[in-house]
Amino acid sequence: MKREKPSLAGLAHVETIISEDVVIVGEITEGGSIRLEGTVKGNINILGNLIVGKNAFVQGDIICDNINIIGKVEGNVRCKNLKVFTGASLIGSADVVTIVIEENSVFVGNCTRREEAPAEAKKIDDILNISDK
């Protein structure tokens, strides 16, 4: 049986690439979409998508729109769509709308699936300038 290469559809637009030889100790916040190939020891809270590359490692909690994990994450994840690819690992809880865990990947933790708010409700919140912060 032929294996498919990891598909990163929907995450193609990346604003920032953090290379494999980079180690960040501290938080990443307020950024757009990131492709991480290095190491982050701290929380990630971004407005875009996150790709955790094959040799990447995150030790901290992650909040983002969508996340594809090809490497290793130790921490809790909150996003809309989570995909853990073959050979990848997520050690921590996941709070998601959708989750895909491929064969031969590792997920140790709890998963909470939530319903996505209807598009109309989001628009009303934006119009009224209502924020959860």
Q: Check if the beta carbon of residue 73 is closer than 8 Å to that of residue 52.
A: yes
- Mean pLDDT for each 10-residue chunk of the chain (133 residues)? 47 82 94 94 95 97 97 97 97 96 96 75 54 54
How far apart are the C-alpha atoms of 70 and 99, rounded to whole Å? 14
Task: Judge contact between 58 and 40, C-beta under 8 A.
Answer: yes
Distances (CA, A) of 72 to 35, 60, 123: 13, 11, 35
93 SS3 class: coil
pLDDT reported for residue 63: 96
Confidence (pLDDT) at 87: 97
